[in-house]
Chains A and B, each alone.
Chain A
């Protein structure tokens, strides 16, 4: 029932223990939970991969772009999400680096 395992949870890319939930319309912690909880399924992840080109592994902080990758992370029991919450201010936190 934890938000972190919920299909609606979009984790922050740097701090995946917090994220956005469109169902309650605000920032929530991964340890939270509510009645709208629905555990994310492999099918939903695969559909997302097909529709959007990627899914996200919270455990490895990795964008997954292939079915094989996704299935491997799922098999290992990693925490997966359809995507991440976009932090529009993050570029202001980073130096130009090249």
Chain B
């Protein structure tokens, strides 16, 4: 087996996150490519949560796929929720204690889901009980159902290693990890290595978990290697295993961020929590610090970041939709006062609280058009983790070089996806702080009209300046003079042309796939991976397809137009209802794209549903396809 698609499911807080962390490190240590995304409920603890993952012996996966070949269920709800995702000949590992459980005995399951699953099972004549369902799966889909006695394993482990009740979730994760390892033939040494990494400084936990590994191995002896992965053909080299949140935090440290503010919000907060861990940095004797402040709300988050920027440090804040809404007044202030500040914006399902722990790309137009009045701002996006690392640095470079707010528009799928990337080349990183005045000038004008981007001095330095939300003159004093107003207005907006002219085209968009495609997919952000895999898959089916990965969403790069010459052969892909990028392209270029593939269930676009959607559009002439796969 070259690739394995699998799901680990259970109650939120029940060890899945650790299982994902351990497996990602174990598989990558053995040179397998690994990609996983976590889906979880907004109530945080107890409700159904799952990791959808893909491991490959031939490449680093870029997309998730259904059907799956393996389902590891640490509770009954997982079996009922995901049984439809199973491939023919798949494997289900479930907790033996759940065998007799009926769907009505699962208190954490939502009524709508219970009712839908019960109806589907009823149509098949299957009693909604775990034992009946796995029997049905065995008979109808040749599924191998493996009951694993979690109780017995933990009880035995407890006798051997006196497991502490206060760390039980850590051991459940081990049962999951061990069962996947036994089935795939992943060597014990890689599991140990991953445990040592994840439980760094806690050797007793590593040993406890290795005891569990042995017990699971013994229980599953008859199934060892049932889903054996072939030896990896890759050499991953020096790599990092991280989530989207992690890579942004690391990128900010490398970019030289010295102030980060946030108000806790899903799915942004984990970035700030990681930054807090590195608040004090010591690299080969060179010391620095990142001040990370949890403010009282998002208004304080953006305004304090603006303040930090005005005194001269690279400053950013991080949020998602509801928080960004609160930041909009501050964003306008930054636009009026030409303040370089970066807002990392992780989209989630809206409106209002919406689906707070699920993904979406439906805030594109909100981000681009946020703020009252007109001012220059830049909206960037990143298609994958490695791209995002370099983009973070560039976001600050653009912000400071042009003295504009920059919104780095990401999403929950990106934030909660874990993968391996090669260690970034720091030689590729450049820090551009723009025109800065450090010496005292006789007549310093912060908003000098001699330049589109005026030399920037910092508060606390030798020069004096004034900042106000009002229109101002070159010094920063309030002025309502119409001629001054016209000139300041034009100065601020002239930056758009400058940015469009000067920013490297590789930061504006990238093109992938066939050089002379019959069809072009266009999207931005986290859909990149699935689109790249889709054009390859479509290529194998005889279609010539390309993908435009938009990165600079605003100001919109004119260069993209050359890929949109025949709009009838362009298909826009987005996690939203409207597929808003079409409106943006239409506004900026006049090109009207009709065809779209949309998904707004809050679950990520998976490979085969996208391939099928594109085929429907290409072969049957459908204008739009709405995707729905995923529990």
Contacts and interface: CB of A to CB of B under 8 A. Distances in A.
Interface of A: 10, 12-15, 17-20, 26-32, 59-62, 85-98
B45 A20 contact: no
B168 A18 contact: yes
Nearest to A12: B168
Contacts of A10: 165
A19 B43 CA distance: 23
B165 A98 contact: no
B14 A14 contact: yes
Given A61-B108, A98-B264, A28 B14 contact: no
15 contacts: A15-B11, A18-B155, A18-B168, A27-B158, A28-B155, A29-B154, A30-B151, A31-B97, A87-B165, A87-B166, A93-B14, A95-B267, A95-B270, A95-B416, A97-B266
A96 B165 CA distance: 23
A15 B172 CA distance: 9
Contacts of B170: 89
A60 B266 contact: no
B269 A96 contact: yes
Given A14-B11, A14-B46, A29-B152, A89 B169 contact: yes
Contacts of A90: 13, 45, 169
Given A60-B107, A90-B13, A98-B264, A27 B155 contact: yes
B17 A93 contact: yes
Given A60-B107, A87-B166, A98 B266 contact: yes
B381 interface: no
A27 B160 CA distance: 11
B281 to A, nearest CB: 23
Given A14-B45, A94-B12, A89 B151 contact: no
B165 A89 contact: no
Given A28-B158, A32-B151, 14 more contacts: A14-B12, A14-B46, A15-B14, A15-B172, A18-B150, A18-B151, A18-B168, A32-B155, A61-B107, A85-B166, A89-B170, A90-B169, A97-B356, A98-B356
**DSSP majority for the A interface?**
loop
A88 B166 contact: yes
A12 B165 contact: yes
B459 to A, nearest CB: 32
Nearest to B166: A88
B176 to A, nearest CB: 12
A28 B45 CA distance: 22
Contact of A59 (B12, B97, B107): B107
A58 B38 CA distance: 27
Contact of B266 (A19, A28, A89, A96): A96
Contacts of A27: 154-155, 158, 163-165, 168
A74 B575 CA distance: 47
Contacts of A14: 10-14, 45-46, 169, 172
B573 interface: no
B317 to A, nearest CB: 15
Interface in B79-105: 95, 97, 105
Contacts of B42: 97
A98 B348 CA distance: 11
Interface in B396-410: none
Interface in B1-19: 10-18
The list of the 5 closest CB pairs from A to B, nearest first, reads: A29-B151, A20-B165, A96-B269, A88-B166, A27-B158
A94 to B, nearest CB: 5
Contacts of B158: 26-28
A28 B269 CA distance: 36
A17 to B, nearest CB: 5
A94 B416 CA distance: 12
Interface string B346-384: 000000000011000000000000000000000000000
| Central interface residue in B15, B46, B151, B173, by most chain A CB within 10 Å | B151
Most chain B CB within a 10 A radius of its CB, from A17, A19, A60, A85: A17
Given A26-B159, A96-B269, A85 B165 contact: yes
B533 interface: no
A88 to B, nearest CB: 4
B265 A98 contact: yes
Interface in B39-70: 40, 42-46
B74 interface: yes
Given A15-B75, A17-B97, A60-B107, A89 B356 contact: no
Interface string B157-186: 011001111111110110000000000000
B273 interface: yes
